[in-house]
Amino acid sequence: MTREAHGRALVLGGGGITGIAWQWGILSGLTEAGTDLRGADLVVGTSAGSIVGAQVASGIDPEVRYRVQLAGADGEIPARVGRAVLARWAWAALRSRTPERAGARIGRLALAARTVAEAERRTVIESRLPVREWPERPLKITAVDAATGAFTVFDRAAGVGLVDAVGASCAVPCVWPPVTIAGRRYIDGGVRSPANADLAAGHRAVIVLAPSTAGFGPVASVGRQVAALRRAGARVAVISPDRAAREAFGGNSLDPQGRAPAARAGRAQAPSVAAAVAAVWGDA
């Protein structure tokens, strides 16, 4: 780790509606235990993590957002990633040698899929965001260009609205419509990696909240990216759902009815990971 290394980074990965809720449960529980991750010098958000990350970087109280997860899921559109869709994603990725090629193949599937209208989906994204402007604290939101497969990172300097950036990061291929920004179409940042933890390179301490960790083909797993961060000298703690949380998620991460159980599971899990998180975070 060089002298120019930054301090602390918080990486928030994808995982659908249940992933959003679980992350708020973890964050509220950690705050109660004495570790407030809103002090991160950088927040990285992918898919579900972009929803949470935009609010964490804006200083929103995790306890308040945790309580929101326990309320009714009005305004959400129920959906499911079926086996056929998963198989098409996997086939596209496993046939590809690079993340860009995999992204372009999955992007073609997304562009051809029948979904709700972009405007309808945007309304849902807006309802999840109590803040609509980019925060002052550094925030990176990930997406993938549906046409080229190019990995795209939106930040305050990109000239893209926060709602659009988050919507692009959450555009699950073949489930939700690609998001149009400046004439280009974008899909879920999780197409490149479940958390894109490599964006935290150069930070001394990194906490990764990853509802999903697996990779396949050229899609990098959380473990592979975290190993590279550690080799570079970073202290890293990875928090993923425990067995009780996975059971609370159920079989469909996009089911609004799973939101409250997932949030409670995250809150219940937080005390068991609090010491590991504090050990990484506390003296960075």
Query: Contact at 8 Å (CB) between 220 and 250?
Result: no
Residue 145 bears catalytic tag:
no
Place of tokens 């129920």: 78
Radius of gyration of the chain (CA): 17
What is d(CA 223, CA 136) in angstroms, rounded to the nearest whole number? 30
* The pairing of beta strand 179-181 with beta strand 139-145: unpaired
Catalytic residue among 188, 212, 240, 253: 188
Q: Is 28 a catalytic residue?
A: no
Of the candidates 5, 103, 30, 51, the one whose C-alpha atom is nearest the C-alpha of residue 277 is: 30
| Separation CA 6–CA 1 (nearest Å) | 10
> Which residue's entry shows tokens 């197409």?
191
Interatomic CA distance for residues 235 and 157, integer angstroms = 28
CA proximity to 225, closest of 215, 217, 239: 215
Q: CA 186 to CA 17: how far, in whole Å?
A: 20
Enumerate residues 6+ apart whose C-beta is below 8 A from 187.
103, 106, 107, 110, 143, 144, 146, 168, 171, 172, 173, 178, 179
Annotated catalytic sites, by residue?
A: 47, 188
